[in-house]
Amino acid sequence: DQQVKQNSPSLSVQEGRISILNCDYTNSMFDYFLWYKKYPAEGPTFLISISSIKDKNEDGRFTVFLNKSAKHLSLHIVPSQPGDSAVYFCAASARSGNNRKLIWGLGTSLAVNP
């Protein structure tokens, strides 16, 4: 059973517009959330994270919003650029003793069209 769900396998956006990628989770013990970007044949690149004590975190063109009551987070990219075209993974973690394990979604493929 997927604890982290990215229900949109793909998204297409025009350059300069906003890209919104969504992620839902089921485990209320998750307290730290991350977004990674992955180009083909490369490893995931860390983008931005958010702790469950916050509802928003911003870094340049990237903003992550967390709605704990809905168990939902979203990544906003404004403005979108062609170089943003990649697969975006949402990941969540909960503390287990001294350890943390990342639980990953299946990814959303974003295409930004010039």
Partner 1 sequence: EAEVAQSPRYKITEKSQAVAFWCDPISGHATLYWYRQILGQGPELLVQFQDESVVDDSQLPKDRFSAERLKGVDSTLKIQPAELGDSAMYLCASSLAVGLGTQYFGPGTRLTVL
Query: Which residues sit at the interface with partner 1, rule CB under 8 A?
Result: 4, 32, 34, 36, 41-46, 49, 89, 91, 93, 95, 98-102, 104-107
Q: Least Å distance between CB 16 and partner 1?
A: 28
Q: Residue for token digits 């485990």?
A: 27
Nearest CA-CA partner of 32 in 111, 112, 102: 102
CB closer to partner 1 out of 34 and 77:
34
Residues sharing a CB contact under 8 Å with residue 96, sequence separation 6 or more, in sequence order: none
Q: Least Å distance between CB 32 and partner 1?
A: 4
3-state secondary structure of 84: helix
CB closer to partner 1 out of 15 and 65:
65
